[in-house]
Amino acid sequence: MSAKSFETKVQDFLSQKRIAVAGVSRESRRSAAGAIYRRLKGLGHEVFAVNPNLDTFDGEACYPDLMSIPGGVGGVVIVTRPETTEKIVRQCSEAGVPRVWMHHSSANGSSLSPSAVEYCRQTGIEVIPGACPMMYGENVDFGHKCMRWTLKLSGGLKG
């Protein structure tokens, strides 16, 4: 069986109705996680905020971990430091989350952790190691369109 292409993984991830965003913060106006949360919500996804230090985010419940989300999720976007990413992918395994997107941004840093990527691959969790979900879907802003185009040309979009 051949490995899925990056674009196929993206489409599979974004076809999920229920998606968690791990790493939302009190500084929601400036955070990549907050922007991703709102974008996914605007595209019609049922989105769940995850941060053990918050009770609410954008006026909705914020969950301390993935196991606390009632009914589970089909995927999680991780927007944290790499050492926290490692903890979250282990939660994915425990909570039965089959898809992970480790956010990467030249402006906001990266959630990428090579050991977390390897853990996902060893445990059968489909992983998108890099890029940003805001580069995909309807009505993508100009900046994210340019970023997607540039990364595609440079070979930076790999699964």
In this prediction, residue 1 carries a pLDDT of 34
Own/partner contacts of 6-9, CB < 8 Å, gap of 24 or more, are 6/128, 6/131, 6/157, 6/158, 6/159, 7/157, 9/126, 9/128, 9/159
Architecture of domain 6-154: 3-Layer(aba) Sandwich (3.40)
- pTM for the model stands at 0.85
Residue pLDDT, tens place only, 61-120: 999 999 999 999 999 999 999 999 999 999 999 999 999 999 876 656 688 899 999 999
Reported as a pLDDT band with limits 50, 70 and 90, residue 19 is: very high
In this prediction, residue 3 carries a pLDDT of 60
Question: Could you state, in order of their start, the residue ranges of all structural domains in the chain?
Answer: 6-154
Q: What is the SS3 assignment for 158?
A: coil
In this prediction, residue 111 carries a pLDDT of 87
Residue pLDDT, tens place only, 123-156: 999 999 988 887 666 676 545 555 655 555 555 5
